[in-house]
Amino acid sequence: MQNIPHRMIVLLMDLDRNEDRLSYVESQIPEELRDRVFVLGVLSEPESLKRDIQRTWEEIGEALAKDCYENRNELWGHNLLKHNRTTLDRMISSVKPYLFN
């Protein structure tokens, strides 16, 4: 990533109800790359989210993308996802211009 200045990466992870895990992963990202790395995850496990909202993986992905595109917080506001808000806001402002236009 240091050799490709416009590359961005999204890291998806389950936190197993341990928000310290998110902080730890973020702390391992080199300072000069932090504005281009986005760590998102389900507070427990993805299967818990799927069970709670009773949707397929594809439907979940589409709903999350639609929320981003429409500046809504419906699914992203779910209890298992709402901790992503700060990173999500940062990511949307960085990628929305070329992903959704």
Say if 4 falls within a structural domain: no
Instruction: Quote the pLDDT of residue 1.
Output: 85
Instruction: Report how far residue 72's alpha carbon sits from residue 65's, in angstroms, rounded to the nearest whole number.
Output: 10
CA angle centred on 17, ends 22 and 36, rounded to 5°:
20
Please tell me the pTM assigned to this model.
0.84
Instruction: Quote the pLDDT of residue 86.
Output: 93
Instruction: Quote the pLDDT of residue 82.
Output: 94
Kindly state the greatest CA–CA separation across the chain.
42
| Amino acid letter, residue 66 | K
Domains: count for the chain: 1
Say if 2 falls within a structural domain: no
- What is the pLDDT tens value at each position of the chain, 101 positions in all? 889 988 999 999 988 888 789 899 999 999 999 999 999 999 999 999 999 999 999 999 999 999 988 989 999 999 999 999 999 999 988 887 777 66
Domain boundaries, position 51: 9-99
Say if 1 falls within a structural domain: no
Say if 59 falls within a structural domain: yes
Instruction: Quote the pLDDT of residue 101.
Output: 67
